[in-house]
Structure formats: C-alpha cells, structure tokens
C-alpha cells in the first residue's frame, strides 16, 4: 500500500490499538482477538519484549485487514528496523525531524507526539500525517475543540484518556482517530488468557466510534 492508502485505512477504522504487553508470545492471540472485535490497526510499542520480532511475525499472519505499525519510536534506527520487519506506520511520543523524514523516505505515514498548539502545528509543518496528542487525558476533549477551531486542517489523535465508551466523543471533539491502550488491551485479560473479553472490548470501542459516525450520516 502507498502512504496515502495506509493513512486512509487507519482513519477509516478510527481506532489504533496501542499494544504494550509483557509477553510477546501472546501477540498473535491478542491480534486475532482485537481484529475479531473490529479493531484492525495495531501499534506494537518498542517497549514490548522482542518488539521487532513480534512485528515480523504479525505481518506473516493470515488475518484479513490487519495493519501493523510500531509505537514508542524515538530515533531513525527504530524506524528503519521496524519497517524492515514489516511495520506499515510509525508512532512516536515526541516530534523529531529524523523520524518523520525516515518514515516518509520508506513511504510510511508517521504520527509524532505533541502537546501544545505550537508543538502540534510544528509537527504538522514538518510533515506529520497525524499528530498524536499525548498525554491527551491531561488536556481533554475541550482542548481538541479549541485547537481545531483555528486549525481545522489538522489531523489530531488522542492517546491517553480514551475509553471504550468515549471514543465517539473524542471524534466529535475533532479527533481524526483515537489511540487506545490499557482500556482496550487489558493486561489482566491477557494474563488470564481471556481473549473473548478482549474481543468484547474491541467491539464496544468500535460501537462507540460507529455510533458517532451514524449520527453524522443522519445529520
């Protein structure tokens, strides 16, 4: 897929599952459970043990519509290693020129992290496809509305503060998609091998997103 096609796939789904688990051997079951619930976009963070190997194995799986990216990226070497392993998009907690340039050189969209309006706009100016507003739980939805009012052209995505039931509200506030970590990828469920509940989490999240989108269509 081209960079634009990858980005469109992410925005069409509306949710990025931030997968930060302790045991990479469970990655396949986590991925299948999330996809069964409709969340097909997985961000495997570099804090996962053997993250690069996990990304490589995920991209080999025959799971329809699964799109695997990498998160917690802080330098260009991580970008290159993850893309070589099959990562289709790059997410970072910070904004660094080298991360954006390297991702784009390989034809992949990138989502750098920013916090203030100035940081968000700078990330946009130097080529961010989506700006990850992080940690969004400190800022809240009203912040998104305020930032989007003078800069409606921005693609901004919250990470932190997104729950299974308020994702649609974040979209209503101006988010282009949501990044969801522990509320969705519940470590206790994974440790207990309770993948059925993990699928229910994903389904509940997508219901929130789809309810908002249905409302927009009706109006």
Residue 8 sits in a domain whose CATH number is 3.20.20.70
| Catalytic-role residue among 57, 96, 108, 132 | 132
Domain that holds residue 191: 3-218
How many domains would you assign to the chain? 1
Q: How far, in Å, CA of 145 to CA of 135, rounded?
A: 16
Query: What ranges make up the beta strands (E) of 26-182?
Result: 41-45, 67-71, 90-91, 110-111, 113-114, 131-133, 156-158, 178-180
| Half-sphere exposure of residue 142: CA atoms within 13 angstroms, side-chain side | 1
| 148 catalytic per annotation | no
Catalytic residue chosen out of the listed positions 43, 57, 96, 108:
43
Q: Is residue 132 annotated as a catalytic residue, yes or no?
A: yes
Low-confidence ranges of the chain (pLDDT < 50): none
pLDDT in tens, 156-213: 999 999 999 999 999 999 999 999 999 999 999 999 999 999 999 999 999 999 999 9
Let me know the angle formed at the C-alpha of 51 by 177 and 131, rounded to the nearest 5 degrees: 25
Of residues 13, 5, 28, the one with CA closest to residue 179: 13
């Amino acid at each position: 897929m081209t960079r634009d096609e990858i980005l469109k796939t992410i925005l069409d789904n509306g949710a990025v599952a931030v997968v930060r688990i302790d045991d990479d051997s469970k990655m396949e079951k986590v991925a299948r459970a999330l996809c069964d619930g409709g969340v097909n976009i997985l961000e495997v963070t570099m804090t996962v043990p053997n993250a690069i190997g996990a990304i490589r194995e995920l991209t080999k799986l025959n799971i329809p519509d699964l799109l695997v990216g990498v998160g917690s990226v802080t330098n260009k070497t991580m970008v290159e290693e993850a893309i070589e392993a099959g990562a289709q998009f790059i997410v970072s907690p910070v904004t660094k020129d080298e991360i954006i340039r390297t991702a784009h050189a390989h034809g992949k969209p990138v989502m750098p992290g920013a916090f203030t309006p100035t940081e968000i706009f700078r990330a946009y100016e130097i080529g961010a496809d989506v700006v990850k507003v992080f940690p969004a739980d400190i800022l809240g939805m009203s912040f998104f509305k305020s930032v989007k009012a003078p800069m409606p052209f921005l693609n901004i995505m919250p990470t932190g503060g997104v729950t299974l039931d308020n994702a649609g509200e974040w979209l209503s506030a101006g988010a282009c998609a949501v990044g969801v970590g522990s509320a969705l990828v519940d470590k206790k469920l994974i440790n207990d091998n309770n993948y059925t509940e993990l699928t229910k989490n994903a389904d509940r999240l997508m219901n929130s997103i789809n309810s908002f989108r249905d409302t927009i269509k009706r109006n």
